[in-house]
Amino acid sequence: MLLAELSSLNADERSDRTSQGTVNGTFDASGRVRWEVVGELGHPECMVHRSWLSIWGAAVVLASLSACSYVPPTSWRVVPIEFDNALDVGPEDRIDVTYSMTNMTQDTAGGFWTESAGSRLHLNSAGDTLRRFNDEMFTRVHGISAISPSVLAVSRTGKAGTEIETGIYLYDTDAETWTPVDVDATTIGDVAAGADGRLVFVDFLGEMVPEGAMTPLESAFMWPFAIRTVAKNGQQTTVLGAESGVTAAAVAIDIDPAGTVYVSTERETFAIGADGTRSPIATYPPRNPVLAVNAVGYVLTAAPTNTDATERPIDWKMVRASSPARGVMAKKGDCPQSSEQGIRILTGEESTSLPFSCNTNGAVWLNDTTFVLSIGDESGTILARVTPPEEPTKR
């Protein structure tokens, strides 16, 4: 009878998560036994809940773990992050499908921040929820970048009819204070914090800041822009001047520890060296720009429609996901099933397209190898933690 009951479990009840880990048995409040496999970082990898109290019942549970999927060392590992969506003062509300998140930044301590329409989320390197709160200010945020785990550089525009000022601010999330950064620009887009304390920002030269995802990019107006920096002492410099003639409907920027500035528009990604030299990186059909650069110079950016013939196809496995999270991946992220284009990693001369990254709206590196993608749209988004294969030759 127990075997029959086990065989009747659907895939979500059995869970097709990784089978590696330690089996623990505990009693819950109702007196039932909860058996779970605990894997890396102490997170449940494959869980079965039943009221079996016998030793033989435990053996059956152990046998059922063979139904859990195994992630081979040659595969990329994609894990939707489950986090506590309750506000700082509310009861726990754990989810792994959320709303669309486009503004993302590492937090300088291995974790990351996200912002969307005033909602803010802070997770540490293990995926634990540190903060979750809503900003009551009536602003539109164009970019965030961490100065420290609790202080963010924020580019914002006050909404019409409010007294909220526009510009770049240092937002202390603990003290809830906003300190303005004095710059010679009035319409500012994305912002990125460098390792030396300087801020790089997009100056739309007094025109409006494009709506980005709010506008169909194929017909969006192309706005001229410049890239500028402001140092900790207030000194301002121009990285890419208005005389360059560049225009875009949407712009994302980042900076690496060497001081190289990266710029991604809806059609291309390029780098600007410390000497002002502009180097092309990638071109692609119109899409909202996604850009993230890690400490060793690896770049996450949009992939072209057709994969480069020199690229190796990759294997990947999605684990530790709820049924709704798997639905988001199947409908939005899985590129063979999607009409959208995905993301690629550029590592020097090599590029790797990620077949699970379509409809990615934001990206952030956690370290030199692991990153998080915001995959989906307003109907459902997953924050997918992506880890490369254990075997370097398959990365």
3-state SS record for 92-151? CCEECCECCCCEEEECCCCCEEEEECCEEEEECCCCCEEEEEECCCCEEEEEEEECCCCE
Report pTM. 0.81
Q: Residue 156 has what pLDDT?
A: 92
* pLDDT tens-digit profile, the chain (395 residues): 332 332 333 333 333 333 333 334 444 454 444 444 444 333 344 333 233 334 444 444 333 333 345 788 999 999 999 999 998 777 889 999 998 899 999 999 999 999 998 899 999 999 999 999 988 766 889 999 999 999 999 999 877 666 677 899 999 999 999 999 999 998 999 999 998 999 999 999 987 787 654 455 555 688 999 999 999 999 999 999 989 999 999 999 999 999 999 999 999 999 999 888 899 999 998 899 999 999 999 999 998 866 555 567 889 999 999 999 999 999 999 998 887 889 999 998 789 999 999 999 999 999 999 999 999 999 999 999 999 998 765 45
Could you give the CA distance from residue 141 to residue 163 in angstroms, rounded to a whole number? 15
Could you give the CA distance from residue 308 to residue 367 in angstroms, rounded to a whole number? 26
Strand order of the β-sheet with 371-377 is 316-318, 76-80, 380-387, 371-377, 360-365
In terms of phi and psi (left: phi > 0; alpha: psi -120 to 50; beta: otherwise), the region of 75 is beta
3-state secondary structure of 353: strand
Amino acid at 151: V
Backbone angles phi and psi of 321, in degrees to 5: -125, 145
CA count, 13 A, side-chain hemisphere, 317: 15
Q: Where are the domains of the chain?
A: 2-67, 71-102+292-395
Could you give the CA distance from residue 357 to residue 374 in angstroms, rounded to a whole number? 9
Class of residue 24 by CB neighbours under 10 A (exposed 0-12, middle 13-18, buried 19+): exposed
Strand order of the β-sheet with 261-265 is 251-255, 261-265, 268-272, 278-283
Could you give the CA distance from residue 17 to residue 79 in angstroms, rounded to a whole number? 10
